[in-house]
Amino acid sequence: MWKNHPKGLVVLFFTEMWERFGFYTMLAILALYMDEHFSIPKEISGNIYGAFVAFVYFTPMFGGLLADRWLGYGRSIVAGAFLMAAGYLALGMDSLTAFYAALVLIVIGNGLFKPNISTLLGNLYGDHNPLKDSGFQIFYMGINVGAFFAPLAASYFRTNFGWGWAFACAGVGMLISAAIFLFFRKHVREVVGSKKDGGVSEVRISRRQERNRIISLIVIFAIVVLFWMAFFQNGFTLTFWARDCTDTALNPELFQMANPFFVVVFTPLLVMLWGRLRARRREPATTGKILIGMGLTALSFLVMMAAGLSGGDAGRVSMAWLIMGYAIITLGELCLSPIGLSLVSNMSPPRLRGLMMGGWFASFAVGSYLSGFLGSYWERMPHSSFFAIMVITSLVAVALLALVKKRVDSAMTAAPEPVAESGRPPASA
């Protein structure tokens, strides 16, 4: 699986793995912490949760721009890691003031960390490297190795030692992430600077092509908002479903292990599948994979709608429904999220790569806020009706992407136009 990939992939894999361990340890119990410890009503905690995750993924636009223009990717990653570690430790101080201050630290730290580690990975491969999709999928598996163990750690420390120790565990994970990056950064040294250190190979494109690519990316960002709106129900309504509607004695946060578990299981299989299809010249285009991902998302929530109609609306049902839903949406996620990172890396104008990667995460922001907003209606309608909304919005995304797919593919694959020193096509072009 690692064959022919740059050594820097291993460094970024483990850096991101520990960072995500910290983040998802915190996120696994955040809704429960507000509900059980601070007794915040769900209509309020839903909006807090949605706004927090929205800002977590909105600030990468600014973090990417700062790295492009000033800090560079390496310094941004290190600064973000330490800010997030401080935020996780502050969450356990048992004070609402400290709680809100901690959320701000995490938001700022993630804004610096998240877009720039993904940009670094893309720069290691250069432009239009056929291994880039696979590289991002392997990297994404690292995210989910950390995310798999996070709910287990959160549940263990919360149950046996209290909330503060669970959040401290998240902080330690973040510090390990920073240490790995600092000790082994020599393997990514050639791409840790600012935008002028663009990567292994960089193709200059005209201003007109830049504009077409940016417009195409913005359209993709707008469409995948609907995926993230559905996906981020994981940390909110699906956690309450696990607690209140699933026939099990397990702690509800443990069900959040299902998604990363399936990511780790399915990733090698998908990498192998895409590789075989590539060898036969039948691999779907990047946009085609995203289209498949949205269709699988609709199917996942169709399963959950059936679970509600089968008894979950008024009582408890087998946990097999929830596990099945997680399995299907994970396949959809793997067709969309790491592939989307690769798409942004390939299509972004080199001078705006960090900013556009931040734009990808801004789509997470809008989607996650909408997930919390819709989550505030969880107790105001039958659960099957709530899940039906997710089915409909996911199918809308499928239809919209099908309409723009040809234009996006054309913008991504168009041959570079001749570029004059001014950065514009020559007059004869």
Q: Residue 160 maps to which CATH number?
A: 1.20.1250.20
- For residue 298, pLDDT over 90 is answered with yes
For residues 340-358, b (16+ Cβ closer than 10 Å) or e, as one string? bbbbbbbbbbbbbbbbbbb
113 CB-side CA count, 13 A: 29
Does position 203 have pLDDT exceeding 70, yes or no? no
3-state secondary structure of 246: strand
Is the pLDDT assigned to residue 408 strictly greater than 60? yes
Q: What is the pLDDT of residue 208?
A: 82
84 closest CA partner among 150, 21, 153: 21
Residue 318 lies in a domain: yes
pLDDT digits (tens, 9 = 90+) for 37-85: 888 887 788 788 878 877 888 888 888 888 878 888 888 999 999 999 9
Does residue 203 lie in a domain region?
Answer: no
Range of the domain at 124: 8-195+208-412
* pLDDT higher than 60, residue 419: no
How many Å apart are CA 10 and CA 129, to the nearest integer? Answer: 18
* The two three-digit tokens of residue 380, written as one number: 């105001």
Helix (H) or strand (E) segment spanning residue 370: helix 353-375
Give dist(CA 122, CA 200) in Å, integer.
9
Q: Please, which pLDDT band fits residue 207 given cuts at 50, 70 and 90? A: confident
Residue 112 domain flag? yes
Q: Give bridge partners of residue 317 from the DSSP assignment.
A: 246
Q: Is residue 202 part of a domain?
A: no
pLDDT of residue 194: 43
Q: 246 pairs with which residues across the strands?
A: 317
Angle at the Cα of 328 from the Cα atoms of 323 and 334, rounded to 5 degrees:
120
Give the closest residue to 274 by CA, choosing from 200, 335, 217, 230.
Answer: 335
pLDDT recorded at residue 176:
96
Contacts 24+ apart (CB under 8 A), 209-216: 209/411, 209/414, 209/416, 209/417, 210/349, 210/352, 212/411, 212/414, 213/347, 213/348, 213/349, 213/411, 213/412, 214/349, 214/352, 214/356, 215/411, 216/347, 216/404, 216/407, 216/408, 216/411, 216/412
Sign of dihedral through CA atoms 379, 385, 390, 396?
negative
Question: What pLDDT score does 362 carry?
Answer: 85
Q: How far is CA 130 from CA 248, 279, 343, 376, 409, in A?
A: 45, 11, 12, 43, 16
Structural contact between residues 258 and 426, judged by C-beta atoms closer than 8 angstroms? no
User: How many other C-beta atoms can be found within 10 angstroms of the C-beta atom of residue 96?
Assistant: 11
Query: Does the structure show a pLDDT above 70 at 202?
Result: no
Could you tell me where the beta strands, DSSP code E, fall in 240-396?
A: none
Least confidently predicted of 75-79, 309-313, 358-362: 358-362
What number is the average pLDDT over the span 353-360? 82
CA distance 174 to 89: 10
Flag whether 304 is in a domain: yes
Q: Give the pLDDT confidence score for residue 418 in this predicted structure.
A: 55
Instruction: Give the chain's mean pLDDT.
Output: 85
Total domains, the chain = 1
Structure-token pair, residue 86: 């401080």
Contact 336, 227 (CB under 8 A): yes
Q: Residue with structure tokens 């109609």?
A: 309
Of 64-78, 153-167, 213-227, the one with minimum mean pLDDT is 64-78
> What percentage of residues in the chain have a pLDDT greater than 70?
91
The CA R_g of the chain, rounded to the nearest whole Å, is: 21
Apex 322 CA angle, 321 and 327, nearest 5: 100
| DSSP for residue 195 | T
The span from the CA of 63 to the CA of 371, in Å, is 23
Q: Cα separation of 262 and 333, whole Å?
A: 10
What lies within 8 Å, CB to CB, of 309 at 6+ separation is 384
Q: What is the pLDDT of residues 268-290, one digit of tens each?
A: 888 889 888 888 888 888 889 99
In a domain, 417, yes or no: no
pLDDT in tens, 120-148: 888 887 766 777 777 888 888 888 888 88
Work out the end-to-end distance of the chain between its first and last CA atoms, rounded to an integer number of angstroms: 43
- The token duo for 78 is 């290190």
Give the CA distances from residue 91 to residues 27, 101, 106, in Å, rounded to whole numbers and listed in that order: 11, 8, 10
Encoded tokens for 344: 């942004």
Nearest alpha-carbon partner for 301 in 371, 405, 379, 253: 371
Instruction: Establish if 420 belongs to a structural domain.
Output: no
Residue 121 lies in a domain: yes
* Predicted local confidence at residue 358, as pLDDT: 81
